[in-house]
Amino acid sequence: MTTRFTTLFAFLVASLAAGVSSATEVGDAVNGAKVFQQCKACHQVGKGAKDRVGPQLNGVFGRRAGIIEGFRYSKSMDRMGSDGLTWTAETLDAYIENPKALVSKTRMNFKGIKDAADRRDLLAYLRQFSDNPANFPEAEPTATATDHEIDPAILALQGDPEYGEYLAGDCTTCHQRDGEDAGIPSITNWPVEDFVVAMHAYKRKLRPHPVMQMMAGRLSDEEIAALAAYFEALE
């Protein structure tokens, strides 16, 4: 009995250890340095790093978006920072995969890195330049890069603009139909795919605005497609 218990205990310990290892996997920093070559035209990291076209990336883990003093961010990035966007393994992974899916009007003119392993390796490389160990989300499963792409079947949905107009009342409580930006970003004439991707980012709580998270969470894929079709064609 004792032998069986000891064997079972050892099995459970090994299983738990394997689970922790999987959750804390952060990639290959050596390969991440190579992946960073795609970023070097705009960003610096490491000793003496300075802001260039994009902000320097020292200490990026745990940093609120849009807060580096003296750097000129886009309005969209400023708003996302004000809404609470913080750079974690998960939000960085989503942003690196498709910047405009997380911050729709970011000035970061980069198509993104689609390969999840390359993103994981890049995050491992960047983590070396965040001094505070609390900024290293090593105990979170999100430290392993995941696929943030929207299901192509969702993007292929053909929304009904008339149904979208019926649903749009909640949106136009804050957003102006005429496209005016009165402290709240315009969604008029927003391309369908950008609209759909952004709403699903709210649903998955990658975009931090709590009201939008709640609103998006109530909408079905078909309703999001309808709203996207309505606002894209709105004159």
> Residue 162 is part of which domain span?
152-233
Report if residue 90 sits inside a domain. Answer: yes
Residue 230 pLDDT greater than 90, yes or no: yes
Q: What is the pLDDT of residue 164?
A: 94
Q: Which of 19-23, 37-41, 53-57, 70-74 has the lowest mean pLDDT?
A: 19-23
Q: Is the pLDDT of residue 138 over 70?
A: no
Chain mean pLDDT for the chain: 81
How many angstroms separate the CA atoms of 64 and 104, rounded?
Answer: 17
Answer yes or no: is 229 within a domain. Answer: yes
**pLDDT value at residue 142:** 41
Q: Is residue 53 in a domain?
A: yes
Hey, which residues does 86 pair with through a beta bridge? Answer: 64
Q: Give 141-197 pLDDT, tens digit per residue.
A: 343 444 556 788 998 999 999 999 999 998 988 888 887 776 677 888 888 888 888
Q: Are residues 42 and 132 in the same domain?
A: yes
d(CA 158, CA 235): 19
Contacts of 124 (CB under 8 A, 6+ apart): 26, 27, 28, 29, 32
For residue 14, tell me if it sits in a domain.
no
Q: What is the pLDDT of residue 208?
A: 82
Shared domain check, 226 and 187? yes
Q: Is residue 46 part of a domain?
A: yes
Q: Does 139 share its domain with 158? A: no
Residue 22 lies in a domain: no
Domain finish residue from 100, 118, 143: 143
205-219 tens-digit pLDDT: 888 888 889 999 999
Q: How many domains does the chain have?
A: 2
Q: Are residues 44 and 127 in the same domain?
A: yes
Same domain, 131 and 163: no
Residue at a domain's end among 143, 166, 182: 143
Residue 79 in domain: yes
Proportion of the chain above pLDDT 90, given as a percent: 41
Q: Are residues 80 and 137 in the same domain?
A: yes
pLDDT digits (tens, 9 = 90+) for 1-47: 445 444 444 433 343 333 333 323 568 999 999 999 999 999 999 99
Tell whether the model's pLDDT for residue 116 goes beyond 70.
yes
**Within a domain: 76:** yes
Q: Do residue 99 and residue 42 come from a single domain?
A: yes
Place of tokens 């689609």: 114
Residues 81 and 93 sit within 8 Å (Cβ to Cβ): no
| pLDDT of 91 above 50 | yes
CATH number for the domain harbouring residue 125: 1.10.760.10
Please indicate, yes or no, whether residues 117 and 176 belong to a single structural domain of this protein. Answer: no
Structure tokens at 52: 């260039």
Question: pTM to 2 decimals?
Answer: 0.68
Whether the per-residue pLDDT at 73 is higher than 60: the answer is: yes
